[in-house]
């Protein structure tokens, strides 16, 4: 896909996110919307080596959604990529659905690891990267963390381990939207400077506008090409990106839009409600 096509794909993913959350009546829109461009670049921009027809291909790159509450953006991405039918998105959080509130790797193709307990994704990713380090297919392990999630101590244990082991096949992407459920990350328990911390732990850091598709592709491909250290892609984003009343609002961390709000959201995103 070219840049225009990728931006259109990200728009469709955002529409799917707000529609499925409105249908479910619960979920996490803010951090799902902020990560839509990142996920689009990974899955549709040629960065992530993956095959929806063969989700367990040993040569595939691995993606772990460490901030598992942002499952809607993962589900929308996987559905649009062809891992399962898009009609299933309407079953989010419903009894018996494969699309649970947090990803379940035993139920849904394309989900590498069940996540939800914050802080654990980077540890899992580091272990996977270590195991794949000498694989001839040279898979890369990507994991997406929230910036508030960096307040978890386990993240930094994993960062130390990854640098010590020189896991150059590991890329941590931080969705740096500056907000978490209780407000601004700097007010709750500041993890800043995020770049300086990863650098101090022995990582390489690439900072990028998380909504600039060309810049994202360059940053992610550069991180994947690194051959001597793990890389943190620090993506500066806007919580609730694309929906006027959600942008920059911590209150939309974990709240679903009602019918009227859905109509406004879809209009903001350039789609009329069906």
If phi > 0 it is left, if psi is from -120 to 50 it is alpha, else beta; for residue 158 that is alpha
- Determine, yes or no, domain membership for 274: no
- Determine, yes or no, domain membership for 15: yes
The model's confidence at residue 274, banded by pLDDT at 50, 70 and 90, is very low
- Determine, yes or no, domain membership for 161: yes
- C-beta of residue 13 within 8 angstroms of C-beta of residue 39: yes
Task: Tell me the pLDDT tens digit for each residue of 166-207.
Answer: 999 999 999 999 999 999 999 999 999 999 999 999 999 999
**CATH code, domain carrying 184:** 3.40.50.970
Which pTM value belongs to this model?
0.97
Task: Tell me the pLDDT tens digit for each residue of 213-265.
Answer: 999 999 999 999 999 999 999 999 999 999 999 999 999 999 999 999 999 99
- Determine, yes or no, domain membership for 205: yes
- Determine, yes or no, domain membership for 273: no
Number of structural domains the chain divides into: 1
- Determine, yes or no, domain membership for 263: yes
The model's confidence at residue 271, banded by pLDDT at 50, 70 and 90, is confident
The boundaries of the domain holding residue 12 are: 3-268
* CA triple 172-240-141, angle to 5 deg: 15
**Alpha-carbon torsion (123, 195, 216, 185), positive or negative:** positive
pLDDT at 272 over 70: no
């Amino acid at each position: 896909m070219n840049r225009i096509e990728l931006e259109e794909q990200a728009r469709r993913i955002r529409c799917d996110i707000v529609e499925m959350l409105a249908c479910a009546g619960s979920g996490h829109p803010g951090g799902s919307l902020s990560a839509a461009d990142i996920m689009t670049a990974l899955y549709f921009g040629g960065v992530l080596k993956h095959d929806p027809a063969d989700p367990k291909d040993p040569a595939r790159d691995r993606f772990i959604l460490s901030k598992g509450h942002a499952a809607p953006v993962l589900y929308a991405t996987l559905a649009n990529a062809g891992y399962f039918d898009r009609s299933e998105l309407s079953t989010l959080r419903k009894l018996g659905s494969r699309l649970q509130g947090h990803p379940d790797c035993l139920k849904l193709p394309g989900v590498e690891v069940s996540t939800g307990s914050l802080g654990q994704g980077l540890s899992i990713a580091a272990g996977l990267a270590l195991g794949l380090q000498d694989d001839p297919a040279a898979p890369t392990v990507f994991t997406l963390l929230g910036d508030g999630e960096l307040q978890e101590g386990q993240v930094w244990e994993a960062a130390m381990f990854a640098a010590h082991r020189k896991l150059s096949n590991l890329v941590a992407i931080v969705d740096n939207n500056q907000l978490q459920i209780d407000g601004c990350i700097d007010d709750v328990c500041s993890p800043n400077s995020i770049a300086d911390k990863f650098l101090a732990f022995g990582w390489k850091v690439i900072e990028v506008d998380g909504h600039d598709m060309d810049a994202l592709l360059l940053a992610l491909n550069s991180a994947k090409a690194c051959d001597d250290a793990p890389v943190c892609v620090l993506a500066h984003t806007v919580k609730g990106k694309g929906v006027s009343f959600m942008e920059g609002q911590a209150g939309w961390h974990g709240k679903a839009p009602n019918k009227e709000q859905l109509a406004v959201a879809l209009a903001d995103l350039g789609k009329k409600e069906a």
